A and B are shown apart, each in its own frame.
Chain A
Amino acid sequence: MKIKTLSRIFAGALTALAVSGALAQSKPTELKVGITTFLSGPASVFGVPGMAAADLYIEQLNAAGGINGVKIVPTYIDEGVGADKLLSEYRRVVQETGTKVMLSAVSSGNCNIVAPVAEDLKVLNILWDCGTEKVLEEKRYRYVTRTQANATIEMLSTVLYLLKTKPDIKTIAVMNQDYAWGRDSWELFRNALLALKPDVKIVAELFPKFGATDYSTEISRLQALRPDVILSTSWGGDLDTFVRQASQRGLMKSSLLVLPLAESSLERLGTALPDGVIVGARGDHYFLHPQYKDEAKLKNFTKKFQEKTGAYPIYPVFHMVQALDGLVAGYQKAIKANKGQWPSTEQVADAMRGLEFRGLTGTVKIREDGQGLEDQLLGVTRKVAGYNFPILEKIMIYPADLISTPVGQKSPEWVKTIKPELINNPRFKQLN
């Protein structure tokens, strides 16, 4: 008798728990999202448009009803205060305000730092703009996912584009920012380049500090060395300053510049960037993308963004929209799997894997390791009438599946196995 009563009580308790568990995930009044970006320092010219994009897009999303009626409320955190202050702020926003979704970060260094913390705090963290491949290759995360490509895909496409347009280069020099992105991107570029063209000589490897404001001595050195190609994966204010100073001293006359992140600087640099520079967009993000520029979504957003900020959208803007679209898609997938109920953070995090969605341009696919795959766009600058900054021509699109490291392998090693035949793969199309 006693056992029967006990087991009835036990069953009752279990049911109560189960019911309360389901009830616990009732729809919240709003979804708090923490967003980190650069709001101060040289990188702010890159980070502030990201914030503007978030404001604009979240306003649009909320006007259309938010996610299943839940409005999104953003909080912005400045990455420009330095890594340890950022970490304190990140923790404070998560713990003090109960934010469960974070979009972080722009800097690869900061991504390496927040990813394990997000996993520890059990909050969904979308790597919305950083490129280092190491963050998702060195550890498997449940709560961390990336809605854009990574350094491997981007550097590999850059090498392929360079070797297709200039197959006979003999010497190359690199000048990257001295932090995770600058170092990791060079490692990949170098390994890929040497795998495809082993006789190229690397004449200089310069790593000025992140946020350096003066490149005069580096420019003198590069001018003295006169390499065929100068690579720089620099971005934001650092890239702007470098290009302006280089332009003042005619560095581009003696070497071909390859700037895989320069799409984000085109408008700001204006006439400082001459014709013939190879430019990448960390994805297929370009407001004049031949396939999407006339499509309603990109066209309308470009117009609204210009009205709000006075400038054309650059790739961090595209990345922000992609992250938000990915977040919405992830929530919708999780809600469907949860039979219409509001999902837990774990359910959304799991739903992000295998997700396929579109931002402003092409489709993004997220793999089982959380890494995103998106097409890459590269082109060459040319000044035309109608814009007071160069546009890109000779645009080529590189689909990600051919140039991404297989799940579970380490990129710096994998890119060494690339074969020269890849340069002329018919799936790499030139669009204009």
Chain B
Amino acid sequence: MSQDIYILAVLDGLSYAALLFLVALGMTLVFGVMNIVNMAHGSFYALGGYMAATLGLWATAHGASPAWSLLILPLAAIIVGCVFGALMETSLMQHIYNKDPILQLLITFSAFMIFEDLQRLVWGTQPYFVSDIVNYLGTADILGITYTRYQLMVVPGVALVVFVALRSFLKLSSIGRQIVAVSHNREISTALGINVKRISLLTFVVGSILGALAGALASPTVSWVPGIGGEMIVLSFAVVATAGLGQIEGALVAAILIGLARSFTVYLLPELEVLIPFLIMVLVLLFRPQGLFSVAQSRRV
């Protein structure tokens, strides 16, 4: 059995890691470009899930086959990112770029509080569990354990696709390279003629879409309730801090690290499961505070 446990733990961990990665990706991208930690990022996760559930219910009511969910989920993410992300950026974020970091954090924290109540007002307090796509895709048996194909293939698959797509976008496309430039130095980018304001808006929206995508992907598998945004944000902090702020490849590795650590803990030391992501975060912050993957810089800590 013990040999099998490792494989099972890896499979469980990868799906969880994929979600963590997507959420952390959005946050780290926003930080890299705008140098602000968005405390409301978890709210995009929650909103993405709620929007996906609502669209899913609407689609089922209109007789659509569950296969459409594969389109609906990203659509929900894009809607949330564009609407709420753009709203937040233009009404709030734009105006606080030059403010004290403490005030910046507080503004995003206030946005988080507002979003929390907004969710309750729009979607109520009862749980949503819209899982037709999971049932539709069926199961796969591995080593005598049944996994849902959705959990094994769709979630990690989407995360991988997004990772590759984002990396190529940042390296190869013109806008991508502008984003990288702004993340290195805002002032010089402006001097070079880059429309930093537009880039910031675009980055923020993309970051929000990524967070919402994670939520949309997660919502068919778990029960969606108020408060889920607040939980996810501290987990994504754990990933981002472990990887290093602004590191995209690092976020992938850190997410896998934390995801696997958690699932192994469930098998070996179940009582410690909830502590693991934060213990890792503490250890990384203590011994390599700029993260495991960041490039050397003059004092940023």
Contacts and interface: CB of A to CB of B under 8 A. Distances in A.
A164 interface: no
Nearest to B148: A248
B220 to A, nearest CB: 10
Contacts of B263: 217
Interface range for B: 35 or more
Contacts of B8: 220, 224
B221 A214 contact: yes
Interface of B: 1, 4-5, 8, 11-12, 15-16, 120, 125-127, 129, 131, 134-135, 139, 144-148, 151, 221-228, 263, 266-267, 270, 273-274
B3 to A, nearest CB: 12
Contacts of B224: 213
Given A41-B127, A224-B4, A217 B266 contact: yes
B139 A248 contact: yes
B142 to A, nearest CB: 10
A223 interface: yes
A264 to B, nearest CB: 14
Contacts of A244: 129, 131
Contacts of A221: 266-267
B148 A40 contact: no
B222 A213 contact: yes
Interface stretch (A26-34, A42-50, A64-72, A136-144): A42-50
A214 B145 contact: no
A44 B126 contact: yes
Given A217-B266, A250-B139, A224 B226 contact: no
Contacts of A218: 266
A245 B221 contact: yes
Contact of A249 (B5, B120, B148): B148
Interface residues of A, number: 29
Contacts of B151: 216
B162 to A, nearest CB: 21
A67 B225 CA distance: 39
Contacts of B129: 240-241, 244
A314 to B, nearest CB: 15
A223 B4 CA distance: 12
B252 to A, nearest CB: 21
Given A41-B127, A80-B125, A241-B223, 13 more contacts: A40-B226, A42-B225, A209-B274, A211-B225, A217-B273, A220-B8, A220-B147, A224-B1, A224-B5, A240-B223, A241-B222, A249-B146, A249-B148
A94 interface: no
Interface in A219-253: 220-221, 223-224, 237, 240-241, 244-245, 248-251
Contacts of B131: 244, 248
Nearest to A217: B266
Main secondary structure of the interface of B (DSSP, over half): mixed
A206 interface: yes
Contact of B12 (A45, A220, A240): A220
Interface in A165-220: 206, 209, 211, 213-214, 216-218, 220
A39 interface: yes
Nearest to B265: A217
Contacts of B127: 41-42, 44-45, 213, 237, 240-241
B1 to A, nearest CB: 7
30 contacts: A40-B125, A40-B126, A41-B225, A41-B227, A42-B127, A42-B225, A45-B126, A48-B126, A209-B274, A213-B222, A213-B224, A214-B222, A217-B12, A217-B267, A220-B12, A221-B266, A223-B144, A223-B145, A223-B146, A224-B1, A237-B126, A240-B129, A244-B129, A244-B131, A248-B131, A248-B135, A248-B139, A249-B147, A250-B146, A251-B146
A41 B125 contact: yes
B125 A44 contact: yes
